[in-house]
Chains A and B, each alone.
Chain A
Amino acid sequence: MTHFLPEGTVKIAAQNLGVFYGEKQALHAINLDIRAGEVTALIGPSGCGKSTFLRCINRMNDMVDGARVEGSLTLDGNDIYDRGIDVVQLRARVGMVFQKPNPFPKSIYDNVAYGPRIHGMAKDQTELDEIVMNSLEKAGLLGEVEDRLSESGTSLSGGQQQRLCIARAIAVSPEIILMDEPCSALDPIATAKVEELIDELRENFTIVIVTHSMQQAARVSQRTAFFHLGKVVEMGDTEQIFTNPQHTLTQGYITGRFG
């Protein structure tokens, strides 16, 4: 990755970021830095705005009618919501993995090749093959699907489907991967494989993960942000958040004392 920044540099920065769905304000004045080469976990109760924040980063909220953003959200210093930024280009730089594994009802190969195809990343078939194989390899799935690339992506098990979705996301060579509760539909073994994968991907990608499992946030992330009622209550090193949170709300949430 040539565009890779040294670990610890601020990759994404939110300043006074507010998001509205029609009249309803979903995020209030968010100030948050996401550092390159780290896994940042976003935790908080349902409806706290963590997914909304995640979907701001690749402008997925654009798809929602009446969604409005104020304040600034920058990627490498450029405002994501600037008129000059093209959504398609942004999403090529910011990949996303969703809560429910959602492979296209196409072959495994076509699933992974879709992104490179629409972005014209491969000059010929050989190059495309290479990208697909590499991505499957990086997603730790190649060994399991090597001899059945033409089978439907939906024929895989849940955990394999989710790793296929990760392979599909990294096939576009994004800089950032957003994960929206990627393991909530998986069993513990599949979850462990995905978590191991996240740990490996950290080498090459900046990862932002929304999770409901505090244990998962603790296991995979270096930094954790706690959201509550559309605000960031606390952001810090994962170790500190889980052993000695500074805010009573954070403390209440992670120890299971929420009103």
Chain B
Amino acid sequence: MTDHTVKSYDEELAHLTGIIARMGGLAEAQFTSALHSLVKRDDELASRVVAGDQRIDEMDHEVQSFAVRLLALRQPMAADLRLIVSAMNISGEIERVADYAANLAKRALILNHLPASVPVAGVARLAELVRSVLKDILDAYIERDVEKAIRVWSRDEEVDAMYNGVFKELIDRMTEDSGAITASTHLLFIAKNIERIGDHATNIAETLHFQIVGTPPQGERPKGNTVGVPQ
């Protein structure tokens, strides 16, 4: 699409999407660092992740107030309107993602002080999958790529399936070894949070679709079993 006749309007929209892009990058980094702190049992890294969440909260506030300002002063229409409303939405989703990352780091701090009785490999694999999903959707946002967003949207099933596997594995572990219940429970929550991050990525995909095309993605979202009960 061509530029606005009023150039400063373009600059303001670019500024808004720029904050979101940086925020997304930051949230992704937080998530990665939280995982590292879990796998490597790195307390210091986990603490940094917990502390870093505040920055993302601030960025979300910045997005919200800047978007309101644009709505009031520019009275956007059509694509511009959708872009700004979506930005408010996506910013909220990213903020939630960062929250989960921080929560993961907090649990990592607890797990690090428990004996390493439970292997974290399954959770790490799930995390790796979700991380790629998150990266894809953030790339799609920056590139305004609807195709990529639809692909992310349909990968939710894959995430759910893997989460169910991890869930089952951890339940089995708890029934086998009652001493591992504490650690397993924490890991269970971590897995759940990671799965939630995947859901937020899916939400971002939906919002992005609306922003670009003007409608939500067509058809029922392929939904796996999220409760973790084998079907």
Contacts and interface: CB of A to CB of B under 8 A. Distances in A.
B78 A243 contact: yes
Contact of B79 (A214, A251, A259): A251
B174 to A, nearest CB: 50
A215 B79 CA distance: 15
A66 interface: no
B4 interface: yes
A257 B1 contact: yes
Interface string B1-21: 111111001000000000000
Contacts, number: 42
A257 B78 CA distance: 12
A244 B82 contact: yes
B81 interface: yes
B75 A242 contact: no
Interface in A214-257: 214-215, 218, 242-245, 248, 250-252, 254-257
B229 interface: no
A250 B6 CA distance: 17
Nearest to B74: A256
A243 B1 contact: no
Interface residues of B, number: 17
A238 B155 CA distance: 36
A252 B2 contact: yes
B117 to A, nearest CB: 55
A218 B6 CA distance: 21
A258 B78 contact: no
Contacts of A250: 78
B214 to A, nearest CB: 3
A207 to B, nearest CB: 22
A258 B82 CA distance: 18
Interface string B69-81: 0000001111111
B4 A242 contact: no
B215 interface: yes
Interface of A: 214-215, 218, 242-245, 248, 250-252, 254-259
